[in-house]
Structure 1
Amino acid sequence: MQRIQESMVRVVGLRKTFGRRTVLHDVNFEFSAGKIVGLVGPNGAGKTTIMKALLGLLATDAGNIRILSQPVSVTTHTVVTQQVGALIERPAIYPFLSGWQHLQLITNSVAQMKWVVQVFQMEHYIYRPAKRYSLGMKQKLGIAMALVNRPRLVILDEPMNGLDPQSVKRLRHLIVQLAREGTTFLISSHILSELEKIIDTVILIDQGQVLLQRTMAQFQESARQSLMIRTMENARALRVLLQADYPVIQRGSDLIVSKPVALTPLLHILLDAHIQILKVNQYQEDLETVLLRLLAERKA
């Protein structure tokens, strides 16, 4: 079948062991150019190991990796050094070099360096020795080093660590803008509420295995929906709704209707029973809730 979009990354049958411990089990996934992909899972799931393998920094025991249709391994990863930018675990910072000198290690383009310094608002400290940088300053420098060459693929491991809310927002907007211009992102982050705002696709990994790969649209379709209702007479409202065959329970001071239902007929039933309604909220599971539920269901 002909591919509609260019495949940026393709991983097939990836396996990795450390001693007797297998950390990756037959890992398979693929995504196209220009996508923002979230690689998520519990601590120790294998996310950083996958990212290091994609960069050709880690030898694997089986499987193959291709970026832009070219093979990647510890012995053949020229494409990675030329067209991929990355921040893995923590920035590689030399304490006595300035931020500007760090950028010079990566590119000769002054225009590109000025662009990334301006984007991350680093003008007032970029010429200071990095040993005087705060955690957030070092993190922004690490991300800037990953982006300064405008690579086709950017791999970011926990990029929001140490960033203040304003810097997180600025980074989100930059990632979305660059993706629209064709840059592909693979991002691992525990801050799922932030990741959810920008990613196109989720890859969920647990215990070294890919449990699923879905678009955000597919996740939203599978997210459970419910109604939260508060009335002046919750006990009576509960009886009325149960008699009308609604899937409803009481939780604290609210009534929870656990399945998607038409709102207007439900409200009419309560009003016809002369029950005063104080509040109605519609709730849909967010990405974090869906992923935690899927992991719990798997382990049950």
Structure 2
Amino acid sequence: MNSGLTFTNYGDDLMLKISHINTFIGRKKIIKDVSFQANPGSIVGLIGPNGAGKTTIMKTILGLTKFTGNISVEDKSVTENDHAALTRVGALIEHPAIYPFLTGLENLKLYSLDETDMNHVFSLLKMDSYINTKSKDYSMGMKQKLGIAIALLNKPQLIILDEPMNGLDIEATILIRQIIKQYAAQGSAFLISSHVLGELQKVMTNVLLITEGKIIVDQPIDEFNRVSHKQYRVLTEDMPTTEKLFAANQVPVTKSDEYLLIPRELSYQVQDLLYDHHIRLIELSPQGLNFEQTIVSLLEQQRRQNHEK
């Protein structure tokens, strides 16, 4: 996709390396030639629509699905039959893996190798008041915290979190954000998926955008934000005709209120197009998209290109 986005160039110091992964469910290919990497201390935000393959990628990294290609954690290969490379990996996938008739503390003890670290984790998550209560009586947010606590046990170097903000109130969301940053500052790498893009944007260092099983953006968040502002907004005297004209000439657009947003590099082409079709241009001005709008715009461009193939 020609979106002006380039792939991240990482150094040699890698925590996670994914190379040309293909994952199948039955005979259907779900993940298609996916490659990406994560450095120690990085927080990679895995973003995409429902069914794009986010959870499948996470399961594949954890050796839970059949795959072709190569996965390594700290230069150790992950295979279907050998998960030794995952000893310093913590994960929360889909739903917290907790036993309802055990207390929160008893659940943690099943996974903990270090009691001091375990006590630190549940205190950090502010679970002290209910840690000795059976988890069947936990609210959704309390269960989510317990699942995150399990993922943080034993000082993992790679932490994989699938929708970690689910069920959390505002205070808990802010707390989790702070904890993620704290662990990353100490060198742990994160791979996080979330539909709460505003929250994910506040912590992630890298954007990984996936759709239909393919990675279409892999970029540092600062660079991504710079590219996302390369938009112009268009207002004409006849917007319905303008929209049809742009579609007929394959000009990628995103609707925003009464405006159409176009890539900045097409601004001169658009002016000529409108002039040739005798449509009066009222406004053509720079427009910065917010993070969510940029993601939607990129996905729409990708769908348009797939439809044209």
Which interval holds the TM-score relative to the shorter structure? 0.7 to 0.9
Amino acid at match of 1:75: N
Cα distance, 1:141 vs. partner? Answer: 0.2
The secondary structure found in structure 1 opposite 2:15 is strand
| Rounded Cα–Cα distance in structure 2 between residues aligned with 1:19 and 1:79 | 26
Cα distance, 1:117 vs. partner? Answer: 1.4
CA contact (8 A) 1:38 1:187 kept: yes
1:32 maps to 2:39 = yes
1:150 maps to 2:150 = no
1:52 maps to 2:59 = yes
Cα distance, 1:8 vs. partner? Answer: 1.1
Cα distance, 1:148 vs. partner? Answer: 1.9
The secondary structure found in structure 2 opposite 1:197 is helix
When Rg is computed on C-alpha atoms for both structures, the one with the higher figure is 1
1:160 maps to 2:171 = no
CA contact (8 A) 2:89 2:156 kept: yes
The secondary structure found in structure 1 opposite 2:203 is coil
CA contact (8 A) 1:38 1:201 kept: yes
Amino acid at match of 2:165: M
1:142-201 alpha-carbon deviations (Å, 9 max, x no partner): 000100211000000000000001000010011111111101100000100000001000
Cα distance, 1:19 vs. partner? Answer: 2.4
The secondary structure found in structure 2 opposite 1:91 is coil
Amino acid at match of 1:10: K
Return 5+ residue gaps in structure 2 as ranges: 1-8, 234-255, 265-285, 305-309
| Residue aligning to 1:68 | 74
Amino acid at match of 2:74: L
| Rounded Cα–Cα distance in structure 2 between residues aligned with 1:58 and 1:20 | 13
1:102 maps to 2:136 = no
Q: How does 1:161-180 map to 2 (within 5 A)?
A: 161-180=166-185
| Residue aligning to 2:292 | 288
CA contact (8 A) 1:5 1:33 kept: no
- Matching residue within 207, 219, 237 for 1:202: 207
4+ residue stretches of structure 1 with deviation over 3 A?
Answer: 2-5, 225-228
| Rounded Cα–Cα distance in structure 1 between residues aligned with 2:225 and 2:189 | 22
| Residue aligning to 1:122 | 127
Cα distance, 1:283 vs. partner? Answer: 6.5
| Rounded Cα–Cα distance in structure 2 between residues aligned with 1:201 and 1:3 | 11
CA contact (8 A) 2:89 2:159 kept: yes
Number of equivalenced pairs: 254
CA contact (8 A) 1:53 1:73 kept: no
| Residue aligning to 1:241 | none
CA contact (8 A) 1:99 1:129 kept: yes
| Residue aligning to 2:21 | 14
**Change over 3 Å in CA distance of 1:167–1:58 after alignment to 2:** same
Amino acid at match of 1:173: Q
| Rounded Cα–Cα distance in structure 1 between residues aligned with 2:10 and 2:81 | 28
Cα distance, 1:93 vs. partner? Answer: 1.2
| Residue aligning to 1:271 | none
| Rounded Cα–Cα distance in structure 2 between residues aligned with 1:96 and 1:186 | 30
TM-score, normalized by length of structure 2?
A: 0.76
Amino acid at match of 1:125: Y
Q: How does 1:248-267 map to 2 (within 5 A)?
A: none
CA contact (8 A) 1:219 1:287 kept: no
Cα distance, 1:3 vs. partner? Answer: 6.9
CA contact (8 A) 2:43 2:189 kept: yes
**Change over 3 Å in CA distance of 1:294–1:128 after alignment to 2:** same
Cα distance, 1:224 vs. partner? Answer: 2.4
CA contact (8 A) 2:113 2:154 kept: no
| Rounded Cα–Cα distance in structure 1 between residues aligned with 2:257 and 2:75 | 53
Return 5+ residue gaps in structure 1 as ranges: 229-249, 260-281
| Residue aligning to 1:275 | none
Cα distance, 1:251 vs. partner? Answer: 5.9
TM-score, normalized by length of structure 1?
A: 0.79
